[in-house]
C-alpha cells in the first residue's frame, strides 16, 4: 500500500497558460476524484473518474478536464488559467465510486499559484 | 443542494481540555457523514465516519454521533493534545452520488 501521491507539490503559472497535475492512486483503487481547495475553504468537488470514464462532475467549467489511465494514475488539466484557479488541488482514490467501507484516500495536494 | 455548516475557528484550547466542534448539514435522503483532519502541509485524513442515523463514529479518542433529528454530527474529544492541532472538516456524501461535500473547516489550536 503506497497511498496517493501527487506531483508536483508546488507550481507557479501565468494567467492564460495551461497546466497538468498528476496523481498516482493507491494500488487497486479504480476510482479517482479531484478537489479544489481555495485558501481557508473546504475542498470543492471537480470531477470523478471510474474505470477511465468521467462519472460525475461538479460546478466547474469545461476548461477543467481529466484523464485516468489503466495503471491507476490520473491527470487534471486546466486550460486558460485564471487568477482564481490558485488553490490546493487534491486527488482522492477509492476502491469504488461510493468510497466503500474505507472511504477515500487523499494525496497531499498540488499547490497551484496563478500570477 | 447538499451543504455542510461548521463553526468558525480558530478554536483555541489548553492541553487536556474538552473539545466540541459543531457541524450541521442539509441533504436529501440519508447521507453518510465524515470528519476529516488536515495537518499543515498535508492532505486530508479520514478521522471517523457514520453511515446511518444514531451511528457513533470514533477514532483516536474523537467521537461524533449522527443525529438525524437535529441534522448534526458534532465532533468531540474528552482531552485534547498539542498534536491534535490541525484543521477539521465535516463532510457528507449524499445518497446516490459519489462526491463529498465539505464544510469550510475549523482550525484547532492546542497549547501546552
- Note the pLDDT tens digit of each residue in B4-33: 999 988 999 999 999 999 999 999 888 999
Return the pLDDT at B66. 97
Which residues of chain A neighbour B99 with C-beta distances below 8 Å? 33, 45, 48, 56, 58
Residue A102 pLDDT grade (very low, low, confident, very high; cuts 50, 70, 90): low
Q: What is the mean pLDDT of residues A35-39?
A: 94
Task: Show the cell assigned to B89.
Answer: 472538516
A1 has pLDDT over 60: no
Q: Which residue of A has its CA nearest to B95?
A: A98
Using one digit for the tens of pLDDT, what is the confidence trace for B28-58?
888 999 999 999 888 899 999 999 999 999 9
Q: What is the mean pLDDT of residues A48-54?
A: 91
Task: Show the cell assigned to B101.
Answer: 461535500
The rounded mean pLDDT for chain A is 91
Closest CA to B79 of B18, B37, B14, B22: B18
Q: β-pairing, B44-50 with B23-26? A: unpaired
A72 or A76, greater pLDDT: A76
The residue assigned the cell 451543504 is: B3
Which residues of chain B neighbour A103 with C-beta distances below 8 Å? 34, 46, 49
- A70-88 as b/e, with b when 16 or more CB fall inside 10 Å? eebebbbebeebeeebbbb
A96 has pLDDT over 80: no
Return the pLDDT at A28. 82
- Name the residue facing B98 among A4, A48, A90 (closest C-beta): A48
Tell whether B105 is within 8 A of chain A (Cβ).
Answer: yes
Tell whether B19 is within 8 A of chain A (Cβ).
Answer: no
Return the pLDDT at B15. 97
Closest CA to B107 of B16, B24, B6, B27: B6
Residue A72 pLDDT grade (very low, low, confident, very high; cuts 50, 70, 90): confident
Return the pLDDT at A40. 87
CA distance B108 to B19: 9
Tell whether B102 is within 8 A of chain A (Cβ).
Answer: yes
Tell whether B43 is within 8 A of chain A (Cβ).
Answer: yes
Return the pLDDT at B97. 66
Return the pLDDT at B96. 63
- Name the residue facing A42 among B45, B46, B103 (closest C-beta): B103
Q: What is the mean pLDDT of residues A55-75?
A: 93
Using one digit for the tens of pLDDT, what is the confidence trace for B70-99?
999 999 999 999 999 999 999 999 876 678
Count of helices and strands (H, E) across chain A: 0, 11
Q: Is the CA virtual torsion B64, B8, A98, A1 positive or negative?
A: negative
If interface means Cβ-Cβ distance under 8 Å, which residues of chain A face chain B?
4, 31, 33, 35, 40-45, 48, 55-56, 58, 90, 92, 97-99, 103-104, 106-109
Return the pLDDT at A30. 87
B100 has pLDDT over 60: yes
Amino acid at each position: 500500500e503506497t497511498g496517493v501521491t501527487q506531483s508536483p507539490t508546488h507550481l507557479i503559472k501565468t494567467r492564460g497558460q495551461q497546466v497538468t497535475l498528476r496523481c498516482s492512486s493507491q494500488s487497486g483503487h479504480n476510482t479517482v476524484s479531484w478537489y479544489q481547495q481555495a485558501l481557508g475553504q473546504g475542498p470543492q468537488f471537480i470531477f470523478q473518474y471510474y474505470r477511465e470514464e468521467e462519472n460525475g462532475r461538479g460546478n466547474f467549467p469545461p476548461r477543467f478536464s481529466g484523464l485516468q489511465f489503466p495503471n491507476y494514475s490520473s491527470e487534471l488539466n486546466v486550460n486558460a488559467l485564471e487568477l482564481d484557479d490558485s488553490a490546493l488541488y487534491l486527488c482522492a482514490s477509492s476502491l469504488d465510486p461510493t468510497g466503500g467501507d474505507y472511504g477515500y484516500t487523499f494525496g497531499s495536494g498540488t499547490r497551484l499559484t496563478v500570477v | 443542494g447538499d451543504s455542510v455548516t461548521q463553526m468558525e475557528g480558530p478554536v483555541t484550547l489548553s492541553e487536556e481540555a474538552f473539545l466540541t466542534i459543531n457541524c450541521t448539514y442539509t441533504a436529501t435522503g440519508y447521507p453518510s457523514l465524515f470528519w476529516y483532519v488536515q495537518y499543515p502541509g498535508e492532505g486530508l485524513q479520514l478521522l471517523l465516519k457514520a453511515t446511518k442515523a444514531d451511528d457513533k463514529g470514533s477514532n483516536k479518542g474523537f467521537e461524533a454521533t449522527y443525529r438525524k433529528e437535529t441534522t448534526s454530527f458534532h465532533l468531540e474529544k474528552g482531552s485534547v493534545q498539542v498534536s491534535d492541532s490541525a484543521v477539521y472538516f465535516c463532510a457528507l456524501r449524499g445518497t446516490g452520488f459519489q462526491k463529498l461535500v465539505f464544510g469550510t473547516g475549523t482550525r484547532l489550536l492546542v497549547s501546552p
